Amino acid sequence: MLSGNCEILLTGTGGQGLILAGQILAEAVVRDGKNAVQTQSYGPEARGGASRAEVIISDGEIDYPLVTKPDVLLAMSKEALKKFIGKLGENSILMVDSTHIEEIPTTTARIYQIPYSKIAGETLGKEMVANIVALGALAAATGVVTKESLTAALMSRIPRGTEALNQKALDIGWNSARQTAA
């Protein structure tokens, strides 16, 4: 479990919902009484182009709003993994969507390989909630937020009528990381 200052980088392609996942995570952190800064970046193509959300968490003030050395990297595409894996430190956590990423370069990071997209598509019938499955797994694996705050933040940011689907996605992701770590 991570404590103190934590830098999280959520990466993939546009349309995977990583910006929303970053916003939900940052809101959950604030609900837990910590400080958070969330920034985002996406290519001009938007859907299908490069996309990333950055979340910095701290018990104190946050002096610089951008991730410089991620403690956690969530990679939802091969391209994102290739681009950002070199930024990981020795005690970092790497979480990859094994639906799209089969090979992982050598790293000293602790690795979670979970098929977020496959889980969302096959178990929930909607691959578009893979971001929420991944967010649940990330939160469970790192302990950066409580499940209660994450659920409340999720419910405040999703479209009406999708609450049950998103809650299931979050729960499945949370449990997948718990099972992987065991």
Q: Residue 123 falls within a domain, yes or no? A: no
Look at the pTM and tell me if it is higher than 0.85: yes
Q: Where are the alpha helices (DSSP H) in the chain?
A: 18-31, 78-84, 116-123, 130-142, 147-157, 163-181
Q: Residue 92 falls within a domain, yes or no? A: yes
Q: Residue 130 falls within a domain, yes or no? A: no
Q: Where are the alpha helices (DSSP H) in 116-162?
A: 116-123, 130-142, 147-157
Amino acid at 95: M
pLDDT at 46: 54
CATH code: domain of residue 53? 3.40.920.10
- Structural domain span for residue 49: 6-115+144-158
Residues with Cβ within 8 Å of residue 50, at least 6 apart in sequence = 11, 13, 14, 41, 42, 43, 79, 80, 83
The per-residue pLDDT string of the chain (182 residues; one tens digit each, 9 = 90 and over) reads 565 689 999 999 988 999 999 999 999 999 999 999 999 987 665 566 778 999 999 999 999 989 999 999 999 999 999 999 999 988 899 999 999 999 999 999 999 999 999 999 999 999 999 999 999 999 999 999 999 999 999 999 999 999 999 999 999 999 998 777 54
Domain count, the chain: 1
Q: Residue 138 falls within a domain, yes or no? A: no
Residues with Cβ within 8 Å of residue 160, at least 6 apart in sequence = none
Q: Residue 120 falls within a domain, yes or no? A: no
Q: Residue 166 falls within a domain, yes or no? A: no
Q: Residue 109 falls within a domain, yes or no? A: yes
The answer to whether the beta carbons of residues 93 and 109 sit under 8 Å apart is yes
Cα–Cα distance measured from residue 25 to residue 135, given in angstroms and rounded to the nearest whole number:
8
